[in-house]
Structure 1
């Protein structure tokens, strides 16, 4: 397949080179955050790099160079500065998912041999008061617990005034840049070791593939590699102005205040944007464009939907500058992408995995196939083994921290086995069909992907969330039938009884079943009263069903 040229971008081998590279943007705005009073606080690229150098100087003076530095907290400017300061000193950074239980957080810290921690105020309180937490030197945003972040920053500024060549002699190079934990949707989280070059090159590849705008909204958790590599490192490499959001409670507020032209997020948030626009279109009497089955079927036969001037004007009232949404982390229904295009918003879906830094493929601005996860990024090789996607490249992890056996299982043949099932079409677009571990194995030996089942059912108006699985129905453990558990959409199901919801769903599923072979037909339908439990990246935890 002939691709159009990559976007020009710098590639860096280490984080000191990265920082010196982005110094060229000078007083251009780098990062904006909003206070509780809705006031914007903006730092330039010059301020960002100066703060990083100052913090790194203070950390080095305390003898923390080369230490394993844990970052625990919501997205914030301080988080970004602490990450870069640690990376400059060749300190492996431990990314801590603060939405986990205290027990899990403590286990993460110990597993990764954390030696010092930077924490937000809420996380610092856990470090200080929970008996199960390891006792580490602590730097806190507010300073109520541990060393105040601002004090450490000021110490570093004083040191740099005294020593002009503070970074001329850095500690011995450490290839390990990040220890990130997998999301753990089907098993316990695993500690993944990522290299400096792998992370930085993957970040550059992401912006080489996709041209974002001048203002990007970053709400993805930075303790996940998608948030760190793709929504922080990549955009900063090309001089983008970031808005950092650290809470779902303030996300829509900050989105309206910042008015970005690009948003990087997960399908859950894309659906929120879509619902907001769809509701507004209904209020204006523009229902014929959205939530119409004939329109959806028509749109799905077209590679690109046309932009509606009326809908675009409506979008400009709600999200004035929004032009691009980049989605990853889970499957996004192509209908949503096509309908957002009617509003003048292009949605680009990508695919990544923690062990690959994370980006493997992404749709491009001028090469977008909504049902796919795009084309493979530079420096990444793919092959398939019994349908499973295997990856090789500099973005692939060094291994699982202190677990050689698990590392051999995942990449003993030199290729990382993703566990995801998929295929490439003739044009080079990658499609994900399911997860190898999730396959439903039937008595006749047939195998069915639950993700394929879920993608069918998720399109039904009554369905908010769905999980497919194999239900044992007979005396034998291999006597399995395909079942789905549905969490109904409260708005669509308003005023309906559970019996009416179930009866409606069963009729719609019977109609869907008629288009598939008998072994792929859904035979059991269950309802649940609450949403499914999810990981911090908003993936349903299958193991808890």
Structure 2
């Protein structure tokens, strides 16, 4: 089964090694000798992808044994169930699964031989005769347990004949594989899709399988960069994640958007690859074919990769078909269809269900003749999927037979249809799952937390309840309307290849009773360290399932402190945008665990950060500043009843920080028009880049002492730039609340200004603005004429004997004392 024609060619490439076909054969023979000629019928492999996994797998075949791949991330109970069901005599594991195997052994009804790859004592490496495979191709080759979209897994028995049918299909009938194309080995090999597509087929024809250390972006990009991967075997979720990253970059540039529109119109693969050469180079420069399987590929995602010049091939199948039933022919892509039947297969639609017949249909479920008879009838495999075949022979899938929701009034609902519509209804929905609960349609929503943060949405439930579901339901038939929804932090339960496990959705709706205490169940050093730091910053109990922003309500400065703490303690650099993408602290801790360089005590150190030299180009002050200042001063004195006090408290020379409360859109102007010309000339505002988008606003900013900063991308750098302005002897105006008040009351004062003051020994001048909210509350388009507005400049507060916290409190208290009750 392993090719013998290219002994010196690379068979497997890992991050650290190249294994030739000669070496591969020798290693397989080592494991084969280790297994020996004992009375062994089945060998299980419970390990992450690694070369030894492949050696043991082929060695099982060489010894006439059935291979039983087991998901290395499955629960102890699930693995124990599988092992007890098929009773392999030997289980190969790894150092990473050893602890789980110890627990699994306690749940087994017999005592198999456990061998750990890292500890196994193999015979010496010797040249071996090439094994051609069994003479009887009807012999069972593997038992692969389904991941369970509806319940407990079943062992699918596949013969060598079943596997041969798929090998022939993709190498001769729909020839996408050849010995010159490297194939990415990325997905876990316990599933038949990557087992056949990224291991069995490449090694059978003499191609090279390139093994990525993990699915993390850094590992994946490094694997592409160092090799010449031409074929990528992946699941739709992986292609969706890659799509989001690349499409975001394209959409952020008007030039890239225009070029993408052009190549989409021309439908030329050659043009697309030339125009978007940078994208192709980022994926190694050799990637031609993307194969998607395991679940349905999103139409938009498929079209995107096609437009970029990749051959995106989608297939339909199941473990019971080893695995392919239909496949897309190169150059004949139909977006939304997983292609046409394999040449050796026949497919039909019976009562809406897709049924298939051919040489790749399984032998049956291990020890389950009754369940086998339910899905194989007269040689036809009943897939359980619903669909139709168009006039040209393309298959289209519309849903799962078992997933169709039947309401008490007899109406049938396809949840996939509603989930697709929901994910399109709001870009703040990352994932949706629909099921029936208490005779009502219920939706689980996994939000896009980064986008919610960018939109400054604080009450997530209220947003979806008031802004998303009313217009969505209005467009649906009455019986298809979502009546209840639940926000969840974690990804929805899916199989390892992306199929939703709908039977588990209801479990996620169960919430702890009001008042129930949250219990930490995560005994991970990285999590405990982050938990301890956060509890020193905020006055709440921290739990693993909480989100950094929406549960813990950590503000931007708090996030920066956490980022610095993580970098100092673990050597892991995280950007603020990345921080809020973690669905929970548990996910963040796992990321830190995987990336950490060290573990040591660390605290946020603003003193060191503000000592760093940062280049700041101050905008030039044009003569128009005085004209505009005079214009608005005259306009406001006519339009409002303006009063001012304490202007004499503003020193002639700086540096210092002017800190007003924030009531309206005009607050900056209310302060600026009262400052003397020479003071105003040396006083700078700052504005968020997202608020200064068009040419006119950028021009006004560059000519009127406004420094534009990207606080969403890098708050720490923005604070360093403000510090640099103060170091140059200039003054800055900062609104400590960060945003305008929504109800007229003074909000919490953020510590940014106080940190700058205490670290640089710069005084703070509090400014009390009253009446501006009444004149122009949030949402109003025009201010109310004749409103009484007062601006009071208070005596400077010096930072000596203050911490950043106490200084922020002191400035807020001074302003509150000035405001009328």
TM-score per shorter chain, which class?
0.7 to 0.9
Q: Is the 8 A contact 1:200 1:229 kept in 2?
A: no
Alignment partner, residue 8 of structure 1? none
Deviates more, 1:347-356 or 1:171-180: 171-180
Q: For 2:225 and 2:276, locate their aligned partners in 1 and report how far apart those are by CA, in whole Å.
A: 16
Q: Is the 8 A contact 2:435 2:502 kept in 1?
A: no
Q: Is the 8 A contact 2:137 2:160 kept in 1?
A: no
Q: For 1:99 and 1:229, locate their aligned partners in 2 and report how far apart those are by CA, in whole Å.
A: 20
1:369 aligns with 2:329: no
1:136 aligns with 2:112: yes
1:417/1:304 CA distance change after superposition, 3 Å: farther
Q: Is the 8 A contact 2:13 2:211 kept in 1?
A: yes
1:232 aligns with 2:199: yes
Q: For 2:280 and 2:132, locate their aligned partners in 1 and report how far apart those are by CA, in whole Å.
A: 50
1:57 aligns with 2:27: no
Alignment partner, residue 90 of structure 1? 64
1:469 aligns with 2:443: no
1:103 aligns with 2:70: no
Q: Is the 8 A contact 1:91 1:174 kept in 2?
A: no
- Equivalence map 1:466-505=2 (5 Å): 466-472=432-438, 480-494=439-453, 495-497=456-458, 498=460, 499-505=462-468
1:529 aligns with 2:503: no
1:167/1:339 CA distance change after superposition, 3 Å: closer
Instruction: Select 2:392's aligned residue among 413, 417, 427.
Output: 427
Alignment partner, residue 186 of structure 2? 219
Q: For 1:27 and 1:508, locate their aligned partners in 2 and report how far apart those are by CA, in whole Å.
A: 63
1:223-261, CA deviations, whole angstroms, 9 ceiling, x for partnerless residues? Answer: 000011122112223322111235334444434433522
Q: Is the 8 A contact 2:76 2:103 kept in 1?
A: no
Alignment partner, residue 236 of structure 2? 267
State the Cα distance separating 1:309 from its structure 2 match.
6.0
Identify the structure with bigger relative contact order (alpha carbons < 8 Å, sequence gap 6+): 1
1:351 aligns with 2:351: no
Alignment partner, residue 70 of structure 1? 44
State the Cα distance separating 1:24 from its structure 2 match.
1.1
Q: Is the 8 A contact 1:74 1:247 kept in 2?
A: no
Instruction: Select 1:244's aligned residue among 203, 208, 211.
Output: 211
Considering only CA atoms, is the larger Rg found in Structure 1 or Structure 2?
2
Alignment partner, residue 162 of structure 2? 198
Q: Is the 8 A contact 1:502 1:527 kept in 2?
A: no
State the Cα distance separating 1:492 from its structure 2 match.
2.3
- Equivalence map 1:246-325=2 (5 Å): 247-249=214-216, 250-282=219-251, 284-286=253-255, 288=257, 308=272, 312-321=276-285, 322-325=287-290
1:276/1:240 CA distance change after superposition, 3 Å: farther
Q: Is the 8 A contact 1:466 1:484 kept in 2?
A: yes
State the Cα distance separating 1:101 from its structure 2 match.
1.0
State the Cα distance separating 1:415 from its structure 2 match.
1.5
1:280-339, CA deviations, whole angstroms, 9 ceiling, x for partnerless residues? Answer: 32455556369x9xx79x97x999899546751220342132222111111211111211
Q: Is the 8 A contact 1:307 1:342 kept in 2?
A: no
1:365-423, CA deviations, whole angstroms, 9 ceiling, x for partnerless residues? Answer: 11111211111113222122211111212211111111111111121433121111111
Q: For 2:65 and 2:421, locate their aligned partners in 1 and report how far apart those are by CA, in whole Å.
A: 46
1:125-170, CA deviations, whole angstroms, 9 ceiling, x for partnerless residues? Answer: 4324653355322332210xxxx1xx3252x738x5xxx7x97998
Secondary structure at 1:469 match in 2: strand
- Equivalence map 1:310-459=2 (5 Å): 312-321=276-285, 322-459=287-424
Q: Is the 8 A contact 1:307 1:341 kept in 2?
A: no
Q: For 1:89 and 1:392, locate their aligned partners in 2 and report how far apart those are by CA, in whole Å.
A: 31
Q: Is the 8 A contact 1:438 1:449 kept in 2?
A: yes
Q: Is the 8 A contact 2:143 2:158 kept in 1?
A: yes
Q: For 2:91 and 2:157, locate their aligned partners in 1 and report how far apart those are by CA, in whole Å.
A: 18
Secondary structure at 1:493 match in 2: helix
Alignment partner, residue 118 of structure 1? 92
Q: Is the 8 A contact 1:383 1:391 kept in 2?
A: yes
Q: For 2:123 and 2:330, locate their aligned partners in 1 and report how far apart those are by CA, in whole Å.
A: 40
- Equivalence map 1:12-51=2 (5 Å): 18-19=1-2, 22-34=3-15, 39=16, 41-51=17-27
Deviates more, 1:247-256 or 1:414-423: 247-256
Q: Is the 8 A contact 2:273 2:280 kept in 1?
A: no
Matched positions, count: 492
Q: Is the 8 A contact 1:206 1:377 kept in 2?
A: no
Q: For 1:345 and 1:235, locate their aligned partners in 2 and report how far apart those are by CA, in whole Å.
A: 20
Structural RMSD (CA):
3.1
Q: For 1:184 and 1:31, locate their aligned partners in 2 and report how far apart those are by CA, in whole Å.
A: 31
State the Cα distance separating 1:483 from its structure 2 match.
3.8
